[in-house]
Chain A
Amino acid sequence: MAIHPTEVIPDALMSSSAGASDAASKTVKMPIGIPDFTLREEERIVPDSEPPVLPLNKDLKYIGKPTERWDGRAKATGRARYTADVQLPGMLYAKFVNASVPHAKILSVDTSAAESHPGVKGVHVIEKILGNAVLRNPSLEQSRYPLVRYVGQPVAAVAATSPQAAEDAAAKIKVKYEPLPFVVDMDLAREADAPLVFPGAADQAGTAGGGGSAGGLTQTGNVHGPAVHKVGDAEQAFKESDVVVDAHYTTQVQTHSALETHGVVADWKPEMLTVYASTQGTASVREECAAFFQLPMSKVRVITEYMGGGFGAKFGAGNPGVVAAALSRKTGAPVRLMLDRQEEHLSVGNRPSSDQRLRIGAKKDGTITAIQLISYGTAGCGTGAGCAGPATNLYKWATLHVEENDVFTNAGPAAAFRAPGHPQGAFALEQSIDELAERLNMDLLDLRDRIDENPVRRVQRQIIRESAIWKSRHATPNTDAGPIKRGIGLSQSVWYRHLTMESAAEVRVHKDGSLEVLSAVQDIGSGIKTVLAQILAEQFGVPPAKVEVKVGDTNYPVGPNSGGSVTTASLTPAVRDAAWQASQKFLASIAPSLGTSASDLSLNEGMVRSKSNKFQPMTFRSAAARMNTDQVTAQAKRIPDYDPKKYDTYGGVDVAEVAVDTETGRIHVKHVYAVHDCGRPMNPTQVISQINGGVIQGVSYTLFEHRLLDPNYGIMVNANLDKYKIAGSFEIPKIEVVLTESYIGQSSTDASGIGEAAGIISAGAAIANAFYNATGVRIRQLPMTPAVVLAALNKPKPQMEAL
């Protein structure tokens, strides 16, 4: 904590500066549970330096209230400056040269024609590729350049004075390949004589957003794994089960398709490497740049003012980051390298496919005796196709047997993608649970009540039970007589309380009454800027719009990388702690001129009061003028959860209503009723926006999205946004969101994120279950395109019109 020598330090702060672990502690009573349902109080022992317990949202003025997005006006007027908008004096434009073949050794790269192209200032040939899995024994491959493992793998880059010159020059780089056998189809890649993507075992580390897989797993051919998780004797338990549901599910590869592509502007100066990056982690970009170029962390600055979507794929500097930095170093000028849409599909991540055999055994009363999941999935030349999260964590089971396998193919490496593994896993699990209920002749919600003890999910199911949409559900499948059949189904989701302790902030109070909060955290669109403003607003009693929020710059205290829904849960307690400590210092700094002591003063709802009535209450702003210094500051870092033994999950229950046109095979999702939990919702407006988004992304994944690779050439045939279809305005269902505000007594804000649990996990299964309710037929394959639907309904394929 930065302490000014002239400041009066309240005792509580002195103790906190000695470190949270050995600091004095206090016992507080915290609200636990769900208001109107299960609210009670529990005691927690917390460090003395912690602020007072934050009341329920209903008793607060700014936190928990629908609040306008802090930077909404900047975004709506086009003033918001994204990485692609950064323009620096003398800036060059860079363009990648990408591999045109799926598997090859690069024999030579001839850059001479490109170098002499007018406007070209520098050419860089890649000698170390990032993102792909890495051979455990690198000596298995001898090559000057990285082996090409997928079409679109960056090979070289050109920096020139205009985007056109860079593009023209890139086309003049001649790459000579020695082609190698390749495989892009996962089923073929699993065969014994399949071409090998890697000549030996290879591993891919995870990123801050998840993905990757454990190292050291066995690898047979292209099959990396299994990662085995066994509890008890599942085989025996199946034998003793009254019912066993056994099914096979497949899901496709989805690409992130953020509207702002990956990219950076890198400015290498002798004194500092500055990287403007479209990233979910300023810290992750800084770390990777420092490691790659062997620079001290202090010599790398990363700036992300605004970023146009990431969904898990934007961590670290990546190939664009390090290549732009290398070109900047070479040319002595700032270099912009933004990927184009095709590159975005090919080389910077995707959600792996899955092929799942799921068996669930149960007793007559619904108790689950065994869950077995054997999964395969391809993350291209990366790993991270595991999808056992829901099967492992959503329900109670007596025995468990999970085997997750990655299958290497000659395709771009996967990256974490919003709730990695969970949409795939839930698509299978939640259909099988419905099937189990049917076999047991149990109500879908009653069965889940029996096997899911999570108190929040229990309340959510009760809300569903009482909802109009659920009451309107056909009791038996395939009720409608006409060609268009209506159906309603549900699915649950689960996500976890992940935290990163590397979450810090500084709060400044100025003598003119203005307030600042600073953190390196980036706002990826979920709205953390607004939430930070609300926290200061609550502490000092000023409107959030009046708080200056400075984020997205590693010059500020370290911020969390925004992946796995960690940001709100990790950072908000640090900000509240800093705000509270700053307010205490502020009172200490005005006490002398008010002829009293800090302990006589209070700051509530924007008014400074004297407990002994030494003066009339005054506004925060007029009190600030009496500060004995120009600025007081306080920094705080995330402290561990109050009860580290407690383990919490978040999630929701989503109900989907569909209309299935059994003649055309088209599924129309009409209505989604989404009941969700993210602890204390800090800003319900933004939480609802994120849930809308999760639902829509889930509908899009379920019905439309499909990365298609040509098996003969290994090329992605729909690497754009016209043939790679994502949901648009005509496919948006009516979405109703219910938030179950819940308290767990874990931090000074008791808040959590919603990004992963927001609907993408459950949409696939909810729609599939609704489809079953509509038609009496199960679809166990994604995406549910008209062809898949018609095949499931045993309808002949529609005849193509003669051209």
Chain B
Amino acid sequence: MTGNEPPSDRHSDRSANSTTAKKLTRRGFLKGAGITAASTALIEGVQGFQQEALAATPEHVKEYGPEAAPVTLHINGREHTVRIEPRTTLAEALRVELGMTGTKISCDRGVCSSCTVWLDKMPVNSCMTLAVDAVDHQITTIEGLSVDNEVHPLQEAFVRHDAMQCGFCTPGMVMSSAALLERNPHPSEADVRMAVSGNLCRCGTYPKIFAAVLDVSSHQATKA
């Protein structure tokens, strides 16, 4: 994944292998960004390459930009069409275009994870994900975690344990740790620390966040 590929390629990748999203690592992204920055001097060559790539684009592939264009996103089980420029991040599309402001932007460069959403249940930094790259994925935001007015057990546990102060990191913390519980219903404290290791909280609520996640885990144990 270099970040230079058109969305279509990734789409076909994904239909073949749903784990592609897992390859969206920060290291992979930085590599891509590095290539982009280093190649400024070669911009003409790149443009030439792009034209070649476009010429070779299969017909079913959708192209975006450079102007704003309609893009359809699957968010919390519903389709939303927004008119955005291709550079619009998923976080901006959610917040600015769709008014879904539960997803927060704090560092805007993939460090604090306040903007965590799920792409096909995989937590990603929506500030580091272009909205067009989220097309054809199931996006889950904090607004979609509670289904049918039923608050997610983890959100209840966050309230019960006071796992928040100012609350600005809370949606991201909830999304990261709920994703952990999806893939591992009975995590250890070390697992929880790992799952939120990308999430920063400046008020210092971590101990109660760990407790909240482990509490849900233990409840799931009694049910089982």
Contact = CB atoms under 8 A, between A and B. Distances in A.
**Are these two chains actual partners, yes or no?**
yes
Interface of A: 68-69, 71-82, 84-85, 87, 162-164, 257-261, 306-309, 311, 340-341, 524-527, 685-686, 688-690, 692-697, 720-722, 726-730, 732, 734-735
Interface stretch (B11-19, B52-60, B84-92): B84-92
B130 to A, nearest CB: 13
Contacts of A689: 162, 165, 203, 205, 208
Contacts of A695: 204
A728 B104 CA distance: 18
Nearest to A737: B207
Contacts of B159: 68-69, 72-73, 76
B62 interface: no
A71 B102 CA distance: 14
Interface string B157-190: 0111011111111110010000000000000000
A259 B162 contact: no
Contacts of A306: 166-167
A525 B165 contact: yes
A453 to B, nearest CB: 31
Given A82-B168, A163-B92, A341-B108, A732 B206 contact: yes
27 contacts: A72-B158, A73-B155, A76-B156, A76-B159, A76-B163, A77-B145, A78-B102, A87-B99, A164-B85, A259-B169, A306-B167, A307-B166, A308-B166, A309-B168, A525-B165, A685-B162, A689-B165, A693-B203, A697-B204, A721-B112, A728-B197, A728-B198, A728-B200, A729-B192, A729-B196, A730-B193, A732-B210
A308 B106 CA distance: 10
Contacts of A697: 202, 204
**Max chain B Cβ within 10 angstroms of own Cβ: one of A77, A164, A696:** A77
Interface string B79-119: 00000010110001001100101111111110110100000
Given A87-B99, A164-B85, A261-B106, A690 B200 contact: no
A84 B167 CA distance: 13
Contacts, number: 170
B167 A75 contact: yes
B165 A722 contact: no
B214 interface: no
B2 interface: no
Contacts of B129: none
Nearest to B169: A259
B105 A692 contact: no
A68 B157 CA distance: 11
Contacts of B107: 341, 720-722
Given A69-B159, A162-B96, A721 B111 contact: yes
A309 B169 CA distance: 10
B139 interface: no
B53 to A, nearest CB: 24
Contacts of B108: 340-341
Contacts of B203: 309, 525, 689, 693
Contacts of A73: 151, 155, 159
Nearest to A523: B166
A72 B158 CA distance: 8
A278 to B, nearest CB: 9
Contact of A260 (B95, B160, B162, B166): B166
A258 B198 CA distance: 16
A185 B212 CA distance: 44
Contacts of A690: 165
Nearest to A700: B204
Nearest to B88: A164
B76 to A, nearest CB: 11
A263 B174 CA distance: 25
B202 A76 contact: no
Given A69-B164, A526-B165, A258 B202 contact: yes
Q: Which of A259, A308, A311 has the most CB of B within 10 A?
A: A259
B5 interface: no
Contacts of A87: 99, 101
Given A78-B103, A164-B87, A259-B114, A68 B160 contact: yes
Nearest to B146: A77
Contact of A76 (B88, B174, B196, B198): B174
B204 A692 contact: yes
B109 A720 contact: yes
Contact of B109 (A75, A341, A686): A341
B101 A81 contact: yes
A78 B162 contact: no
B167 A720 contact: no
A78 B141 contact: yes
A78 B171 contact: yes
A729 B206 contact: yes
B99 A309 contact: no
B168 A308 contact: yes
A525 to B, nearest CB: 3
Contact of B193 (A308, A341, A525, A729): A729
A76 to B, nearest CB: 4
A735 B209 CA distance: 13
Contacts of B111: 720-722
B166 A258 contact: yes
A259 B200 contact: yes
Nearest to A66: B162
B135 interface: no
